[in-house]
Amino acid sequence: MLKFLRKVIMWALIVFFGSSIGMVFVYKYLPVYITPLMVIRLFEQNKDDKPLRLKHRWVPMERISGELPLAVWASEDQRFFTHNGFDFKEIENAIEERNSRGRLRGASTISQQTAKNVFLWPGQNWLRKGLEVYFTKLIEWIWGKERIMEVYINSIEMGDGIYGAQAAAKQFWGHDAASLSREESALIASALPNPLRRNCKSPSAYMLQRQGQILHQMKLLGGKYPPTRQ
């Protein structure tokens, strides 16, 4: 019986690692058309008797305004090009802030958020966090920074049923992602921490204030994406 269980566990591990690594290799080259979060949101809408809403269209990076990845880089993860998937300085700052002010805030990098969005489900249990670490290291190793950013801005939730740059640009301003202005991109970035409560069509005073801060940070980062030197 023990021998049988060892065999089952061994094959389960082989299947898991083989399929997960294979999936990451596939997504290095192919568009990500659907994510677990998109499916979960559809089930939530159905459960709440709401109309099903999923607006998403993959577009390659060359058809997305460079202002949007710059805005995301400035607002979400300024050490994106220098860390290996985890920003330990930001984690340390978050712990200090929690200890001194009792305020808990996230310290996830763009790489971590991409791994979570594409391969996992929302949650805070140890299994999901462990898988997030695993997939984060995989995409850093196999994809590289440019592909991670491309997948991130194509799959991130940007509003109620709205995912990715193209859907957000069409829904909020009626044009393609290639035409996103610096101000529009900064406004999208200001909504990302809570896109279900922050609406780019009718931004709150806080969103407009945050937009201004992001615009300033975009200038400090050199005003262009990708960086020529990091």
User: Does residue 108 fall inside a structural domain?
Assistant: yes
32 phi-psi bin (left φ>0, alpha ψ -120 to 50, beta other): beta
Residue 148's domain is classified under what CATH number? 1.10.3810.10
User: Does residue 228 fall inside a structural domain?
Assistant: no
pLDDT reported for residue 102: 60
Q: Is the pLDDT of residue 172 over 70?
A: yes
Residue predicted with more confidence, 223 or 148: 148
Question: Per the structure, how many domains does the chain have?
Answer: 1
Q: Is the pLDDT of residue 184 over 80?
A: yes
DSSP string over 8-27: HHHHHHHHHHHHHHHHHHHH
Query: Considering the entire predicted model, what is its pTM?
Result: 0.90
User: Does residue 12 fall inside a structural domain?
Assistant: no
Model pLDDT for residues 56-96, shown as the tens digit of each residue: 999 999 999 999 999 999 999 999 999 999 988 887 776 77
Side-chain half-sphere exposure of 55, counting CA atoms within 13 A: 14
pLDDT reported for residue 15: 87
pLDDT reported for residue 229: 47
User: Does residue 3 fall inside a structural domain?
Assistant: no
pLDDT band, residue 10 (cuts 50/70/90): confident
User: Residue 199 sits in which domain range?
Assistant: 22-220
User: Does residue 10 fall inside a structural domain?
Assistant: no
User: Does residue 71 fall inside a structural domain?
Assistant: yes
